[in-house]
Amino acid sequence: MDQQNQPLFTDATGERDAAWVLAARDGSTEAFGKLAKAYERAAIATAYRLLGNSDDALEVVQEALLRAYRSLDRLQEPSRFGPWLLRIVSNLSLNARRSRRGGVALDEQWGAEGMKGADGEPVVADTGPERLAEGHELGQALDAALQQLPEKQRLALILFTIEGWAQKDIAALLDCSLENVKWYVFQGRKRLRELLGDALTS
Whether pLDDT at 3 is above 90: no
What is the reported pLDDT for 131?
A: 44
Percent of the chain residues topping a pLDDT of 70: 74
For residue 7, how far is the Cα from the chain centroid? 19
User: What is the model's pTM?
Assistant: 0.64
What is the reported pLDDT for 199?
A: 59
Write the pLDDT tens digit of every residue in 113-171: 333 333 444 333 343 444 444 556 766 777 778 878 888 898 888 888 877 788 888 88
* 16 Cβ contact list (under 8 Å, min separation 6): 38
What is the reported pLDDT for 76?
A: 92
Alpha helices, DSSP H, located in 110-177: 129-148, 151-157, 167-174
Within the chain, all domains assigned CATH 1.10.1740.10 are found at 8-102
For residue 63, how far is the Cα from the chain centroid? 15
DSSP conformational letter for 122? B
The answer to whether 158 and 146 have CB atoms below 8 angstroms apart is yes
The answer to whether 91 and 75 have CB atoms below 8 angstroms apart is no
User: What is the CATH number assigned to the segment(s) 8-102?
Assistant: 1.10.1740.10
CA dist list (Å): 162 to 27, 95, 156, 185: 40, 14, 10, 11
Burial (CB count <10 Å: 0-12, 13-18, 19+), residue 17? buried
Within the chain, all domains assigned CATH 1.10.10.10 are found at 128-202
Rounded to whole angstroms, the Cα distance separating 176 from 124 reads: 39
What is the reported pLDDT for 120?
A: 41
Topology annotation, domain 128-202: Arc Repressor Mutant, subunit A (1.10.10)
Q: How confident is the model at residue 28 (pLDDT cuts 50, 70, 90)?
A: very high
